[in-house]
Amino acid sequence: MQSSVYVFENGLRKVRPYYLQFNTHPKPRWIGRTVVDVFSSEFGEAKDILRLDIDNELMYIRTGFGRKGGETVLKGWDSIGDRILDKFDVICNSKHMHEPSVPECPLQLHEDTRLKIVFENEDMLVVDKPSGIPTHPTGNYYYNTMTEILKHDLNMKNVWPFHRLDKVTSGILIFGKSKTACDTYSSIFQNEKDNISKQYLARIEGEFPTTEVMVNCPIFSVNSTGGYIKPLNADMLPINSTTVFKRLRYSKELNQSIVICRPLTGRMHQIRIHLRNIGHPIVNDYLYNPTNDELHNQEINKINGSIEVEIYNRLFEKYPSFGKVQPVDVTIAKTDECIDLFEIASIKDDNRLQSKLQELQKLRQESLARLKSKNNTTCTECNRQLFDTNKDMTDSQIWLHAYKYQYIGDLKFSFQTEEPSWCSI
């Protein structure tokens, strides 16, 4: 990668536009739909731009993938414009990438990178990840991710994350410097979870209990882009999602607490959802505590949250303990019991709820279109409307920090950062 791929402006790290090839196997919910329908509804792509990509053969389909007869390449609008996707397809798409900006992280604590290095040896690299940067390439982010930034800034051929943090979460992030080290430590993270302790810091609303408590509640969420419940197999939803919380300090003036969060399981957004569900959301969590009306997508986040809370309340009616703090019992995290969320909450049979999910999806698409039109800039090469790369990064950062990771097995390690400045209340 050329050193000029990054541009630093207005406190942001930006990426110059580039082409990236995607080869995508259809998800089960895509089967039976056209590629134009899928990319317009799920990724917000304009249909006229998709047609242009297909006409220019930047998007095409390899069909027959994995079948005895071999593959056939389908190109051009007449071949794939109205064609229904099937499970043996591969969607090939050369996309002109316009990556969102991420915080510049100007604190020069390492001679080569703008990131804080917590620890480094021949096997691993441990960094204090800033809020607002994804761990690895995902969605519209490739170069503006921790793996690619480290490779670029430290002139490394490759790095492998042993685990991941959400984009909005800061703190301890551990990388392998070799494939061998990655395999070794990734196996530890996957297979020796009882020997790994993770501690997060969160700044939350309200006065949290003074005693150590536990929240045990299944984790699910609403996908506003697609208008569906995640995970898709919520008819077999594990009930072992558990987080232990301990209050560190409380500000009576702010009516806010700093808590240590110790997740015993690792579901997506687990800490954030558990805190929201017990009435102590993270103060600036734009998804699970949408109070900043100046953010462009707050209407959607509020509707999204109201649907989730309604479904959770239905769940709490049958399982009241899921909605309350409990005495700590770590054994609950080991249960393999599952529940059928769709049946308990009557999700699929509730026409009103299904209508709200569809309306949410429509609002998300309209919001994306407004955001692009507000910037009023179109790429001269791919004809796509562009987001403002100088945008406020407020909705990319929340007060949740991976504070300490410890492993007590054969290859012992313990890494800890300083407390973030927002912990001073």
Q: Check residue 344 and give its pLDDT.
A: 93
In tens, the pLDDT along 109-158 reads 444 456 789 999 999 999 999 999 999 998 889 999 999 999 988 889 99
Residues 6 or more apart whose CB falls under 8 angstroms from that of 351 comprise none
Under 8 Å between Cβ of 134 and 380: no
Q: Across the strands, what pairs with 150?
A: none
- Mean pLDDT, residues 154-180: 93
- Mean pLDDT, residues 340-350: 90
Helix runs in 112-178, H state only = 146-153
Q: Which is nearest to 95 in space by CA: 53, 41, 141? A: 53
Q: Is the pLDDT of residue 372 over 70?
A: no
Q: Categorize the per-residue pLDDT at 375 as very low, low, confident or very high, splitting at 50, 70 and 90.
A: low
Q: Check residue 107 and give its pLDDT.
A: 40
For 21, 372, 394, the CA distances from 386, given in Å and listed in that order, are: 19, 6, 19
Q: Distance (Å, rounded) from C-alpha 397 to C-alpha 52?
A: 36
Residue percentage of the chain with pLDDT more than 90: 64
Q: Check residue 112 and give its pLDDT.
A: 47
In tens, the pLDDT along 382-410 reads 888 777 667 655 567 899 999 999 999 88
117 alpha-carbon distance from chain centroid: 23
| Phi, psi of 173, rounded to the nearest 5 degrees | -135, 125
The DSSP line for 21-88 is: EEEEPPPGGGTTSBHHHHHHHHH---HHHHHHHHHTTSEEEEESTTSTT--EEE-SHHHHSSPBP-TT
Domains of the chain (ranges, CATH numbers): 1-17+100-191+404-425 (3.30.70.580), 18-97 (3.10.290), 196-391 (no CATH)
Least confident of 220-234, 270-284, 297-311, 367-381: 367-381
Quote the DSSP letter at residue 149.
H
DSSP helix, strand, coil percent of the chain (3-state; round to 5): 30, 25, 45
Tokens of 423: 């912990």
Quote the DSSP letter at residue 5.
G
Tell me the HSE value of 250 on the side-chain side, using a 13 A CA sphere: 12
In tens, the pLDDT along 203-231 reads 999 999 999 999 999 999 988 877 888 89
